[in-house]
């Protein structure tokens, strides 16, 4: 798979969607601009779910047309802005807003999908079929999330083959990539290896697999290392570590992009993202939210692996 890693930024969508205080559109645009300027080329921007369900992202129709398409200073480098689309109504809104990439979201257990989106896993897949068919007709890039791939807050441990079976169905529906999510942050490195082996054993190619780790129990970076060792080259992260775990009140949420970038830099992986720029974006959004910067690199200050010099706090 080589040494090039894709960092898939989820801060603007997953990181902000559960915030109680309304975030102005201009703040979101400023955040995304900083992310693009830092070199991030895949930024999950928003969600076209019902505004009643997620009020924080009710401005999706206004946000998407204003996103910086040139990735900051360079107008020759494009940025992919996937948006979460739950159904045909959301697809129509995304299409009207100018989207060209999407993600659909299901899980490995019925208990989770029934509480999260009000339907079984099978019903969610049926709802996605016309959405993915239309996206394919338009030539959009398509991703499928398999949440609770390691554990479910309602039913406990999840058989990796169950998660893989859902991923296979998503690929059959036409997604380009499946992302296994450790929704409640219970996974450990050995489970990452087991799940990756199960996925490739079912015929899923390594290039089609991404991981979305939560740092609820402090294992996110260790899980990334296990994924790298298994040949995975795409990982989700959220700048500033935004996006807590709603099923574990008070617990840490998404893996922080700055922590992931530091690990990849120091380990010799190419990814094209500048740590200083990510830290700037992290400080911007946490200040806007009125929260402290909790990422490890954010607290300690970065370190330039190439020159052996610090990057200011």
Q: Which residues have a catalytic role annotated?
A: 245
CB 161 within 8 A of CB 197: no
Determine contact, residues 258/303, Cβ cutoff 8 Å.
no
Among residues 140, 139, 135, 157, the alpha carbon closest in space to that of 148 is found at 157
CA distances from 63 to 173, 200, 226, 260 (A): 28, 37, 36, 27
Spell out the SS3 assignment of 111-166.
HHHHHHCCCCHHHHHHHHHHHHHHHHHHCCEEEEEEECCCEECCCEECCHHHHHHH
Measured in whole angstroms, the distance separating CA 48 from the mean position of its chain's CA atoms is 16
Distance CA 189, CA 237 (A): 17
Sequence-ordered alpha helix ranges (H) in the chain: 25-37, 60-63, 88-97, 110-116, 121-138, 160-172, 189-201, 220-229, 257-267, 275-289, 296-300
Question: End-to-end CA distance of the chain, in Å?
Answer: 34
Distance CA 232, CA 6 (A): 10
- 3 state SS of 77: coil
**Two structure tokens written together for 6:** 């894709």
Instruction: Give the C-alpha separation, 103 to 296, whole Å.
Output: 29
CB atoms within 10 A of CB 299: 10
Question: How far is it, in rounded angstroms, from Cα 310 to Cα 296?
Answer: 14
């Amino acid at each position: 798979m080589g040494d090039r890693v894709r960092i898939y930024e989820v801060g603007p969508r997953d990181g902000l969607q559960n915030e109680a205080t309304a975030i102005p559109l201009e703040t979101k645009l400023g955040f995304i601009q900083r992310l693009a300027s830092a070199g991030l080329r895949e930024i999950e921007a928003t969600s076209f779910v019902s505004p009643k369900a997620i009020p924080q992202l009710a401005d999706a129709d206004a946000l998407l047309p204003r996103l910086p398409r040139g990735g900051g200073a360079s107008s020759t480098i494009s940025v992919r802005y996937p948006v979460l689309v739950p159904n045909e109504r959301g697809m129509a809104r995304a299409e009207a807003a100018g989207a060209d990439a999407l993600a659909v979201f299901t899980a490995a257990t019925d208990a989770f999908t029934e509480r999260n989106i009000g339907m079984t896993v099978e019903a969610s897949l049926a709802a996605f079929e016309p959405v993915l068919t239309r996206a394919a007709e338009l030539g959009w890039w398509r991703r499928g999330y398999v949440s609770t791939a390691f554990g479910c807050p309602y039913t406990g441990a999840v058989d990796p083959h169950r998660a893989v079976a859902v991923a296979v169905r998503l690929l059959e529906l036409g997604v380009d990539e499946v992302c296994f999510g450790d929704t409640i942050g219970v996974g450990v490195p050995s489970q990452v290896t087991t799940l990756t082996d199960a996925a490739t054993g079912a015929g899923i190619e390594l290039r089609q697999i991404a991981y979305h780790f939560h740092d609820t129990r402090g294992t996110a970076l260790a899980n990334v290392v296990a994924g790298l060792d298994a040949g995975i080259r795409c990982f989700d992260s959220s700048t500033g570590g935004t996006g807590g775990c709603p099923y574990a009140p008070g617990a840490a949420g998404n893996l922080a992009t700055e922590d992931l970038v530091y690990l990849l830099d120091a380990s010799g992986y190419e990814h094209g993202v500048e740590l200083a720029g990510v830290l700037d974006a992290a400080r911007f959004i946490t200040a806007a939210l009125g929260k402290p910067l909790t990422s490890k690199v954010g607290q300690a200050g970065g370190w330039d692996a190439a020159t052996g010099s610090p990057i200011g706090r």
